[in-house]
Amino acid sequence: MGKFVIKETATGFKFDLKAGNGEVIATSEVYTTEAACINGIESVRKNCVGGIDDLTTANDAEVKHPKFELYEDKAGEFRFRLKAKNGEVIAVSEGYKTKNSCMNGIESVKKNAPDAEVE
């Protein structure tokens, strides 16, 4: 089972969503308060049910929010960002070498986030 781990940073609080094996599968922005960070976790839980908008293909079908956006970064790695119903980015991934690995990361968020404990 996955878990959300809240960390204090120099400028506030952030969370990592970790899979059952301890690997980080998604990370948040830095929030100014711990309460705001917890609200961000709840937003991920609510919005991780969205579809996938693959920005690496010429697909004209628009996926409505909430959604995962899968894209290729400047280094040629694949990443995703989870967007809430209002279009705001609420979690991002690390870089993956393959698109398939990135898709697995999205599925891991969908599987782990709804019931993940908070530490």
- Domain range enclosing 25: 3-118
**What residues contact residue 63 under an 8 Å CB cut-off, 6+ apart?**
50, 51, 52, 53
Cis amide bond preceding 66, omega within 30: yes
Distance CA 70, CA 106 (A): 9
Domains: count for the chain: 1
Distance CA 79, CA 94 (A): 6
Q: Which residues pair with 93 in a beta bridge?
A: none
Q: What is the pLDDT along the chain (119 residues), one digit of tens a residue?
A: 899 999 999 999 999 999 989 999 999 999 999 999 999 999 999 999 989 999 998 776 778 899 999 999 999 999 999 999 999 999 999 999 999 999 999 999 999 999 999 99
CATH of the domain at 23: 2.30.29.80
